[in-house]
Amino acid sequence: MGLSCTIGLSLLLCLQTVTCHYFYPNQTGVGDIFPLLIDVTTEELETGLERGLFTSIDLVNAYTARILEVNSTLNVVTELNPDALSIAAELDAERANGTTRGPLHGMPILIKGNIGTADRMSTTAGSFALLGATLPRDSSVAAKLRAAGVVILGKTNLSQWANFRSLNSSNGWSAYGGQTFGAYYPQQDPSGSSSGSGVASSLGLALATLGSETSGSILSPSQVNNLVGIKPTVGLTSRALVIPISERQDTIGPMARTVRDAAYLLQAIAGRDPDDNYTLAQPFDNPPDYVGALNYSSLRGRRIGIPRNIITGFEGDGPLLAAFEGAIQTVRRAGAVIIDNTNITAYALDQYLNGNASLIVLEADFVTDLPQNYLSKLVSNPNNVQNLADVSNFTRAFPPEEYPSRDTGIWDEALALGFNNSSPQFWSFYENNLEVVRDIPELCLQSPYEKMLVDKEYWAS
């Protein structure tokens, strides 16, 4: 629904048209074979830009045309950046003057609809409650992308509120963006909550995308959409001005078609941020060279545990499990030490399958973190939602939010707790989480530093 507001502008952006699968933006370099948008890599685009075969403006037009071609069917993108062309022009001018900000200079990237930007796009988490609300500045990860020369092309749909509203909704649905579908067969479940980011990256609607994860929201849609998804350790990437669920588990990461593309994007967004104190626990002044680490010898001597008692298959999962076993042999041949049957304890398994402490921690965090870390920061707040109760009341009263056919069951549970993450009652549930995590088998831990990390809330992610 949000995209319809910018459809007229988007059509203007596409006056330099491209075909739906191939990229022929201009006549420079006649005879060159241009890569397919659906599988082009960072380095291929960088080479083309450096050789003058195309410009960042051409890329914006190409990707925008591709979005418009599929979006009415798949509901992937909710916002197109009306400033994308002018940003691309500035970046083209920098390149023409011999200045580039890095390997992502001039590259169009889409970001999940809960990642805040201080521009003419909305940040809604898929809810009309936040439509029209504005921020004082970009989220820290968006600011890092811009500093790296990225063109933030638009925002993707998501499971509403990062799948933290309803007990009976569907992956990829939001009131603002509608129902996202995967691209592999009609009405495919795209998984979530980074549903639009997963489908967009898989279809080549941008070079790559950003997603967010609290529990599976990058990894699961990456699996379903045939992508490389990286869930960074909590605190490696800033969550400042990203609509939160839990300060203890939220993290922002890349979703791309190759490991190298994902590494380039992670390199751009990782690092300390004074606006997110979890990032200040990073044990390095600057992030490692993730792209430089991509060589076959990087796994030599690394210890990788296989917890067999939580690896289960369902009917039809034979090829998936076979691929998993093949991957184990690949990393073994690369020099990794495979520690098989590093099974979690019976207590931890029971808590994983039957316990509720992890959900209670998320709910209590959400009650605190939503108003404290996001709503209170808004410059404008047209619907005057100040806390979770306000958001719930708006959702129940505003028909496009589809309540009660899509309920507010998770919020109801959170509000019924009667406490938040600063209350004494909270800590027993959090300690339960940490106790489960401490049941990581000692066999996997090879150094005092690794053992120390088990006692950190790092591992609660």
Residues taking part in catalysis = 112, 193, 217
Measuring CA to CA, which residue among 15, 19, 95 is closest to residue 55?
95
Count CB neighbours of 346 within 10 A. Answer: 10
How many whole angstroms separate alpha carbon 347 and alpha carbon 435?
10
For 151, the 3-state DSSP assignment is strand
Element (H, E) at 125: none
Who's near 74: CB < 8 A, 6+ residues apart?
A: 180, 181, 182, 183, 199, 203
Taking a C-beta distance cutoff of 8 angstroms, is the pair 101, 83 a contact?
Answer: no
How many whole angstroms separate alpha carbon 453 and alpha carbon 420?
26
How many whole angstroms separate alpha carbon 409 and alpha carbon 254?
30
Beta strands in 69-166 (DSSP E): 77-80, 108-112, 151-156
Count CB neighbours of 397 within 10 A. Answer: 9
How many whole angstroms separate alpha carbon 434 and alpha carbon 440?
10
How many whole angstroms separate alpha carbon 117 and alpha carbon 89?
20
How many whole angstroms separate alpha carbon 163 and alpha carbon 171?
7
Q: At what angle do helices 409-416 and 357-373 cross, to 10 degrees?
A: 90
How many whole angstroms separate alpha carbon 22 and alpha carbon 3?
24
For 15, the 3-state DSSP assignment is coil
Taking a C-beta distance cutoff of 8 angstroms, is the pair 163, 193 a contact?
Answer: yes
270 secondary structure, DSSP code: B
Distance from the Cα of residue 39 to its chain's centroid = 19
Count CB neighbours of 314 within 10 A. Answer: 8
How many whole angstroms separate alpha carbon 280 and alpha carbon 277?
5
How many whole angstroms separate alpha carbon 166 and alpha carbon 307?
31
Is the four-CA dihedral 409, 412, 416, 421 of positive or negative sign?
A: positive
